[in-house]
Amino acid sequence: MNSSNQITDTDEASRTNPEASSSTFSNEKKSTDNKDEVMKRAAAKKLIERYFYQLTDGCGNPHCDNKYCASSGEMKPLTPDEAAAQAIQLFSQDARLCERHPNKIARKQGNIGSNKSETTNDVNYKSNLPTNEIESQSNYSNKDSAKYNCAPVPTFLTEQALYDVIDDCEANNSYSPLIRTLGEIFSSIENLSKSFPQEAITPTNATSSLENTDIKALKKEEVRSLEGEKDKDEDSSAESSKNSFAPVDVSSVRRAFTALFKLKTSIFENALVNALVTLAGNLQMELPTRKERGINDDIVNVLIIVFEIPGLGSGDLLETALPAICRAAQGLPVEVQASLARQWSGVARSSLRNILENLQQLITLRAMMTLLRDFCVQDENVITSATKLMKILYYANMLAGVLESPELRYHSLTDSTDGLLSKPKNTLPSDPLADELGVHVLDCRTPYIPFSEFYHEPLSEAVEMDRDFANYKSETGKFSFMHYPFILTPATKTMGLYFDNRIRMYSERRISFLQTFTGLPSQPFLKLKVRRDHIIDDALVELEMISMDNPSDLKKQLVVEFEGEQGIDEGGVSKEFFQLVIEEIFNPDYAMFAIQPESQATWFNPTSFESDAQFKLIGIVLGLAIYNNVILAVNFPMVLYRKLMGKRGSFEDLQDWNPVLYNSLKQLLEFDEPNLEEVFMQTFRISYQDVFGSTIDYDLKENGEKINVTQETKYEFVDMYADFLLNKAVEKQFSAFYRGFQMVVDESPLELLFRPEEIELLICGSKNFDFDELEHSTEYDGGYTNESQIIKDFWSVVHALSTEDKRKLLQFTTGSDRVPIGGLSRLKLVIAKNGPDSDRLPTAHTCFNVLLLPEYSSKEKLKDRLVKAINYSKGFGML
């Protein structure tokens, strides 16, 4: 080996094979795993420092032929920043390293002397990555260098310490101490995790706090925090002391960062970015071993501090530092994720929106770059890692909001005929983070930030849902956004559900064709033949027979035929079928459902005479509508969708179910005077009206008429009242309805993808009638263009229609008067020329959203024919 390439055995092992280096240390010195990691990092830092000096100062050999050495004369002068970046790159490439110049060998404590401050500073200075040395070199002269090398860099940072450093820098007009401090602190997990600590709780205060606290109601981490012994479960007291970290004082962090960012960011941004990149690298390297050893508290502190940095969503911090942090954080153990979520939901909750915006900004930036490279967003590591981090934020947002008791979640329903309603066949696996936190999205009544703000529209537009669905179904562990549905818009998630439903339909169709080889008749579709005048009787009878004989047939594609009418069902006939069924089912003559006078919401009639089978078949109809991608004109309260997703109705659900009753009960709860019994005169007996207007009394407790509601029992009364109206009174009807619904959707990812409010959107469609969107997305055929006079007249007439007539136009052209998720632009309406001017009315192919429009001679004639068509062609004119 040439002398220029000679290095110590330890350095060579570290540079070429860090794992081998660790093994060598372990075998020769029999050190612990913790010491191995420390020595490995020290060796890496040492080599990077040598590369840096080689690039900036050279090796001192006038005949050096190393192109990566300043002494060779082949290199152009490098700035400290450029040299730092190239030093790290050379280290990763295992590039040639010259023998070090004697004058550039890092000083040892024994060479320095007895000056304590000088020794301490030099040790910190030597152990730091070259980025800190770079920034120091670039911001002060050699004379200043000697001066500031005598000032020790702290091993952790406090608010006052940062103020002092800033004041000192401003007084001396040199910011190198600040740059070195930021580099030293923010590149080290240990240093940063100990920074900005909260004041320790004294044993007296802790004991006092514990005496007034219900220990059983606290989580383990909270108890530890009160006791000031967060790590008392460690194997030994010494290990516990070594790994104990005080919680971060978030308010102090914010004040310190506010003071820092009052300076010009150009002063310290490079140093901070480089330090954070180094920190991320250390996190990635140490997380696997930390997981094995259970040392994680400091990681939470580090991430809390990092995500409080004000400029994290802009400049180099956004483009370089934040991606590195996200990549490192994607390997966090579930326990650390849960701890971080709790911290973010507590004292750091006011930063949730800012953290969310930073992550969304990063995803937007990377998504745009991905599109330019024709690259799938699922394969972009920064996007996927930021999404995983956003999931922690998503749960923190729930914890920071208004949560209801998990006891309101049910896992089975009591049914009068079948006993316990079985869970779906393909029950989705639980989320480990949700399990660790003990929270579910259904528990969150009001999140701290609206769930809709987590939608990322540019990403949703960029996701190829067919490929994402394939990843979701794959067993290879490929990333799929369907496992992170909070980030996708409802319209994009609908595509994921559509693919799942269609694949299941094709699978059933293929099985049916294969049955022909066994001699069985082939039935590739779910065919319903009904009479228009007896649609309910015919549909429910056929569906009942199918559900009893072969329930799997419900998973086939629906095809409807109206007896005595011509037409092939390509979707349009099915839409009309569902519309007519819904109109009949909610007809008061059937008395299966009642209309709430205050909210006009449809609800189960608790005194209905209909059998359970009837309600089960209504549930099947609702499930078939979702399964076949049909929007229904129903007006259920939100509590129904919450119950369908697995949450019992509660007091807050009364707000949109019966707002008058809700406000009355709320006044009862808010009344704090001692004379509540005299003012409200309420007992535990309630009264309600059935669908026929008769008053029915019900005792919430035995002999409820004799039990007055008091200040002590008012919450119990309200909970029992809501539970009766929304759960117990309709338990029989809803259980049958739920069972029918699950017969169709039990194997779909419906519950995984959608929250209750999104289920309503999926079933009922959007309420945004923006016909400008429809105009911009409409296509033309048969000779028409958007510049044709008839087309200009058409849109002029349409925009002037009333909302009711616009609904009729949608019904006429698409078979449904509802707006699909994502708005009218999703309809893809086509207007085709249907001959020259004539007296014929416009017609439509509702299966394909095609409007056939003759080229009328005037705008007035166009309006006359169009209005007549949409008002008088129900069941006719729609092909």
Confidence class of residue 535 from pLDDT cuts 50, 70 and 90? Answer: confident
Give the C-alpha separation, 681 to 674, whole Å.
13
CA gap 91, 304 in Å, rounded: 30
Structure tokens at 69: 């050495």
**Sign of the C-alpha dihedral, residues 783, 787, 790, 791?**
positive
Q: What is the mean pLDDT of residues 494-519?
A: 83
User: Does pLDDT of 48 surpass 50?
Assistant: yes
Query: What average pLDDT score do residues 51-72 get?
Result: 80
pLDDT at 872 over 80: no
Q: How confident is the model at residue 588 (pLDDT cuts 50, 70, 90)?
A: confident
SS3 of residue 699 by DSSP: strand
The Cα 112–Cα 66 span in angstroms is 32
Cβ–Cβ under 8 Å, residues 591 and 549? no
More confident residue, 376 or 434: 434
Residue type, 761: L
What was the pLDDT predicted at 114? 31
Q: Which of 52-56, 554-558, 655-659, 730-734 has the lowest mean pLDDT?
A: 52-56
- 10 Å CB burial of residue 276 (0-12, 13-18, 19+) is buried
pLDDT number for residue 414: 42
Which region among 32-41, 398-407, 653-662, 792-801 has the lowest average model confidence (pLDDT)? Answer: 32-41
Query: What value does the mean pLDDT of the chain take?
Result: 78
pLDDT digits (tens, 9 = 90+) for 706-755: 999 999 999 999 999 999 999 999 999 999 999 999 999 988 899 999 99
Lowest model confidence (mean pLDDT) among 15-19, 72-76, 476-480, 614-618: 15-19
Q: Residue 629 in contact with residue 501, Cβ under 8 Å?
A: yes
Residue 261 in 3-state DSSP?
coil
Is it the case that residue 615 has pLDDT exceeding 70?
yes
Tell me: pLDDT of 235 over 60. no
Give me the mean pLDDT over the 472-479 stretch: 87
Q: Which domains does the chain have, with CATH numbers?
A: 3-104 (no CATH), 109-197+245-329 (no CATH), 203-242 (no CATH), 771-872 (3.30.2410.10)
Across the range 33-55, mean pLDDT stands at 65
- pLDDT given at position 643: 94
Among 382-391, 430-439, 602-611, 701-710, the range scoring the smallest mean pLDDT is 602-611
State residue 162's pLDDT score. 94
Q: Is the pLDDT of residue 426 over 80?
A: no
pLDDT, residue 51, reads: 79
Q: Which of 125, 238, 244 is nearest to 184 (CA)?
A: 125
What pLDDT does 849 receive?
Answer: 83
Catalytic residue among 59, 64, 169, 847: 847
Q: What is the pLDDT of residue 205?
A: 40
Is the alpha carbon torsion for 787, 791, 793, 798 positive or negative?
Answer: negative
Long-range (24+ apart) CB contacts under 8 A made by 429-437 are 432/334, 433/334, 433/337, 433/338, 433/341, 433/391, 433/392, 433/395, 434/395, 436/334, 436/335, 436/337, 436/338, 437/338, 437/341, 437/342, 437/395, 437/399
- Residue found under tokens 């995984």: 752
In the predicted structure, residue 575 carries a pLDDT above the cut 90: no
List phi, psi (to 5°) of 749.
-85, 30
pLDDT at 206: 37
Predicted confidence (pLDDT) at residue 279 exceeds the cutoff of 60: yes
And the tokens for 234? Answer: 């460690």
Name the residue with tokens 């180099």.
Answer: 316
Which strands form 779-781's sheet, in the order they lie side by side? 779-781, 830-833, 850-853, 843-845
pLDDT value at position 410?
A: 75
Q: How many CB atoms lie within 10 A of CB 871?
A: 11
Spell out the residues 6+ positions from residue 493 whose beta carbon is closer than 8 angstroms to its own.
482, 485, 753, 754, 758
Confidence at 33, pLDDT banded by 50, 70, 90: very low
Q: Has residue 97 got a pLDDT over 70?
A: yes
Determine the pLDDT at residue 121: 35
* Residue given tokens 């779909």 in the structure block: 748
Q: Percent of the chain at pLDDT above 70?
A: 77
Over residues 590-606, mean pLDDT = 84
Query: Which of residues 1 and 427 earns the better pLDDT score?
Result: 427
Of 830, 843, 854, give the one whose Cα is nearest residue 879.
843
Mean pLDDT on 351-365? 95
Res 153: pLDDT = 66
| pLDDT-based confidence at residue 470 (cuts at 50, 70, 90) | very high
Residue identified by tokens 């010494």 is: 238
Our answer to whether residue 847 is catalytic in this structure is yes
pLDDT, one tens digit per residue, over 376-425 is 888 899 999 999 999 999 999 999 999 998 888 875 444 434 444 444 44
Cα Dmax for the chain: 107
Please tell me which residue, 554 or 234, carries the higher pLDDT value: 554
Task: Work out the average pLDDT over 352-358.
Answer: 95
pLDDT tens for residues 620-637?
Answer: 989 998 998 888 888 899
Alpha carbon 593 to its chain centroid, in Å, reads 36
Q: Find out whether 13 and 24 touch, Cβ atoms under 8 Å.
A: yes
Residue 67 has pLDDT above 70, yes or no: yes
Work out the average pLDDT over 501-526. Answer: 79
Backbone φ/ψ region at 819: left (φ over 0), alpha (ψ -120 to 50), beta:
beta
Judge whether residue 456 has pLDDT over 70: yes
Whole-number pLDDT of residue 509: 81
> 129 or 777: whose pLDDT is higher?
777
For residue 43, the model assigns a pLDDT of 64
Contacts of residue 302, defined as CB under 8 A and 6 or more positions apart, other chains included, come to 189, 192, 193, 279, 283
Which band of pLDDT confidence, cut at 50, 70 and 90, is reported for residue 654? Answer: very high
* pLDDT at 634 (0 to 100): 85
Cβ proximity of 154 and 161 under 8 Å: yes
Is residue 103's pLDDT more than 70? no
pLDDT tens per residue across span 200-225: 443 334 334 333 434 334 443 443 34
Q: Which residues pair with 558 in a beta bridge?
A: 526
CB atoms within 10 A of CB 670: 8
The token pair at 620 is 């099947």
Q: What's the confidence (pLDDT) of residue 326?
A: 95
**CA 301 to each of CA 176, 191, 308, 326, 349: distance values in angstroms, whole numbers, following the listed order:** 26, 11, 11, 15, 15
Model confidence at 144: pLDDT above 60 = no
For residue 241, the model assigns a pLDDT of 35
pTM value surpassing 0.85: no
